[in-house]
Structure 1
Amino acid sequence: MQNIGLVTKDLELSMDYSKIANEYNWFIDNTYKPEDILKWITTHNEVAVLWDESTIRVKDNLHIFKEIRKNLAGPIIVIDKMKAKNKLNWFFELGVDDYLSFSDEFDELNLILNQRINTYNKIYHQKKHEYRYIYFGDYQIDLEKYKVTKDGKDLGLTPKELKLLYYLIKHKQQVLDRDQLLEGVWGDFGVMETSRMVDIHISHLRDKIEANPKKPEWIKTKRGFGYFFNGEFTTK
């Protein structure tokens, strides 16, 4: 049984999810204090976090949320009774994996959780890499600590941004369209507003690694086709 942290003040939601989750071999750790999640990541080995935006706003707990994202090797899914499109970009920038409308049905959420957790497991918990480090320009990717640095400074890439960069590098000089990136990075499951989401993450990634994001050196666009990594890299 795997533990999932649920951040909510809605007791009924907590009880319903806890009851249903047991049928899917999940155990729900419920709290209305987001800081509890940071402790449980270590003590309870949380594999994912569900955040109820309807009762506890991410914006009001931004520092804690960022710490959770930094330390959790698993997906964060925000659920909202009144899903707002204007929050979508901001949530993705924070490293949220999915922003979903609230639902009493757990079947779809269970499928999404399984897919997201499996994706993170492949990245975080697969220790037998052919190499640990990837170098390009003044940048270093550490595949064990899962971070990108430039001249020793952590650039603060979200897990999704780093996975996107890694995927582009692995397919160096190959132009990847949005569908290929969705399948390779997101798993192409339950993704809404897909093309826009890829573009948003590419834009955020460029903001962090390009000297001039408007004239990118590393992540190029092939107009009408997609994106590709431009440059050489070494491994160690």
Structure 2
Amino acid sequence: MTRILLVEDDLLLSEGISYALRKESYLVDCADSIEKAWECLNKGPSLVLLDVNLPDGDGREFLKRLRSANKVPVVFLTARDSEKDMLEGFDAGCDDYITKPFPISVLSRKIGLLLKGVAYLDKSLYYQGDFVYDYAKKELTIQNVPVKLTATELRLLEYFLKNRGQVLTREQILENVWDSYENFVDERTLNVNVRRLREKIEKDPKNPRYIITMFGIGYKWKEA
């Protein structure tokens, strides 16, 4: 289940939002202060809902500190609705900015879009929803659960991520993933490794979300 951290000091609002999100099968951790928010971050949320005005500080300053080490999607939920406030929120690093009051249905839709659509690549990390790959550590987690990959599967995954959104021919993949390591491989080897990788990263390997077969050509890494 996808975990969401809600940082909100208004108890009634916090209870209402968390109740609605739990009905949609999200795991929700609630924090009413920045101090408690830092503690809850250890649970590895896939998304953070953050108020600006909190008892022990400013949510924007909290986000600036968070962004120095964590790329988790963050949505501001606040009554501060001026253009200046919104720009300051985005400058702090938020992914979306929702002003109070708001319909729960709108919040739910925005959360769903962020979790499905967030995908970005920096020098060390790749995120797509709850799929996180650490290039430096060669570690993959899905829904905060470590996924063990073989050396070949890691090379294959990194090649897909490097060329995400592009149609890759079988020849390209074989040449770039295997050639400098194992000279004698064929398309059957590729098919087997793609199948094994799908079994480890796809919720439904027969209907893949990430590695899409391009019939007669090869494969493509699809971003949601």
| Other-structure match for 1:110 | 108
1:91 corresponds to 2:89: yes
| Other-structure match for 1:100 | 98
| Other-structure match for 1:182 | none
Q: Quick one: distance in 2 between partners of 1:86 and 1:58?
A: 22
| Other-structure match for 1:11 | 11
Identity of aligned residues (%): 19
| Other-structure match for 1:69 | 67
| Other-structure match for 2:26 | 26
- Larger RCO of the pair (alpha carbons < 8 Å, separation 6+): 1
Which has the greater radius of gyration?
2
- Residue pair 1:47, 1:73 contacting (<8 A) in 2 also: no
> What are the superposed Cα offsets for residues 171-228 of structure 1, whole Å, 9 maximum, x if unpaired?
xxxxxxxxxxxxxx9x9xxxxxxxxxxxxxxxxxxxxxxxxxxxxxxxxxxxxxxxxx
1:11 is displaced (CA, Å) by: 0.4
> What are the superposed Cα offsets for residues 100-142 of structure 1, whole Å, 9 maximum, x if unpaired?
1123521111111111122335642364222888xxxxxxxxx
- Residue pair 1:48, 1:72 contacting (<8 A) in 2 also: no
1:24 is displaced (CA, Å) by: 1.2
Q: Quick one: distance in 2 between partners of 1:26 and 1:66?
A: 26
Return closer, same or farther for 1:100/1:39 CA change in 2, 3 Å cut-off.
Answer: same
Letter in 1 for 2:46: V
1:130 corresponds to 2:159: yes
1:96 is displaced (CA, Å) by: 0.7
- Residue pair 2:9, 2:55 contacting (<8 A) in 1 also: no
| Other-structure match for 1:46 | 45
1:19 is displaced (CA, Å) by: 1.1
- Residue pair 1:74, 1:117 contacting (<8 A) in 2 also: no
1:35 is displaced (CA, Å) by: 3.2
Return closer, same or farther for 1:131/1:38 CA change in 2, 3 Å cut-off.
Answer: farther
Return closer, same or farther for 1:100/1:70 CA change in 2, 3 Å cut-off.
Answer: same
Q: 5+ residue gaps in structure 2?
A: 121-125, 134-156, 163-222
1:63 is displaced (CA, Å) by: 4.5
Name the SS of the counterpart of 2:68 in structure 1: helix
Return closer, same or farther for 1:126/1:85 CA change in 2, 3 Å cut-off.
Answer: same
1:94 is displaced (CA, Å) by: 1.3
Q: Quick one: distance in 1 between partners of 2:55 and 2:94?
A: 13
> What are the superposed Cα offsets for residues 131-161 of structure 1, whole Å, 9 maximum, x if unpaired?
888xxxxxxxxxxxxxxxxxxxxxxxxxxxx
Name the SS of the counterpart of 1:96 in structure 2: coil
1:81 is displaced (CA, Å) by: 2.2
| Other-structure match for 2:78 | 80
Letter in 2 for 1:33: S
Q: Which TM-score applies when normalising by structure 2?
A: 0.50
Q: Quick one: distance in 2 between partners of 1:66 and 1:58?
A: 15
Return closer, same or farther for 1:111/1:64 CA change in 2, 3 Å cut-off.
Answer: same
Q: Quick one: distance in 2 between partners of 1:103 and 1:85?
A: 16
